[in-house]
Amino acid sequence: MNTLKTATLLAAMTALFMGLGYLIGGAGGAFIAFLIAGAMNIFAFWQSDKMVLRMHGARLVDENSAPHYVRLVRQLAANAGIPMPATYIMEQPQPNAFATGRDPEHAAVAVTTGLLNVLSSEELAGVIAHELGHIKNRDTLTMTITATIAGAISMLANFAFFFGGSRERGGLIGTIALAILAPMAAGIVQMAISRTREYEADAMGAEISGRPLWLASALEKIESASGRVTNEAAEANPATAHMFIINPLHGGKRDSLFSTHPATANRIAKLHDIAAGTGRAAGRPWG
């Protein structure tokens, strides 16, 4: 099912890319945009994870440089029944995290220094379990590719806005309309997918850690702290916002069409429901 979703998403975003190409250069522009989109799809499949990690200044760590974090990832990956992902840390005071990679065999988990400083061992385990849930559900390919292509569509839309197309293709009004609507449509696609998958990853993370309230407590802390700290790398690359466990951009906190994530209060409520259903409201410390 995820393969079909990924293919549909790529087709939709390629069509948007071609529409902008047509606006800028007619049939020739659409054809060039098609070739570029094809090349980008191939690149995104193989390299988008590395590009996103570079965007956020993530550095690879091991058990020598970050022993507690790496051991938690290893233990939880074993719980999830997936290969140990690569482990990264971002030098960023805003507490946050994301997972990336084209499949569980080529996956990575990245957390910020702010996250490591703010959360307890149990809460950190809850966050890592959530990210491993994305990996196990094979969400990471779609999420990472979406970030890459949505960013490219926004760039091409800006090009269309400044250089425009001919009168036969709608003139200045058409140029402005498509320059605004194309990235908006791409954003709606990625946001809708992200919101659904965050709930699914929360549930999977609760299963992996065995303690839903660890993640609930972590989400509450991250939500509170992230609103006070600007994530400059995320603000510079907003197309990657949907990858994070909590929206790293300021202002998107409600369940609305333009929110990259479900409302955190709704996620916490669902985790409490899971805990009540399983009787796992507390547990032994990790560390």
Residue 49's nearest CA partner among 141, 138, 154, 132 is: 141
Catalytic entry in 123, 131, 198, 223: 131
Highest mean pLDDT among 6-15, 75-84, 243-252: 75-84
pTM attached to this predicted model: 0.78
198 among known catalytic residues: no
The enclosing H or E element of 42 equals: helix 2-55
User: What local confidence, expressed as pLDDT, does residue 14 receive?
Assistant: 76
User: What local confidence, expressed as pLDDT, does residue 5 receive?
Assistant: 64
pLDDT tens digits for 58-96?
A: 999 999 999 999 999 999 999 999 999 999 999 999 999
Distance CA 259, CA 2 (A): 22
Cα dihedral value 138, 144, 150, 153, nearest 10: -120
User: What local confidence, expressed as pLDDT, does residue 242 receive?
Assistant: 82
Q: With pLDDT > 90 as the criterion, what percentage of the chain qualifies? A: 45
Pairing relationship of beta strands 107-112 and 86-90 according to DSSP bridges = parallel
Highest mean pLDDT among 26-30, 49-53, 257-261: 49-53
- What letter would DSSP give residue 99? E
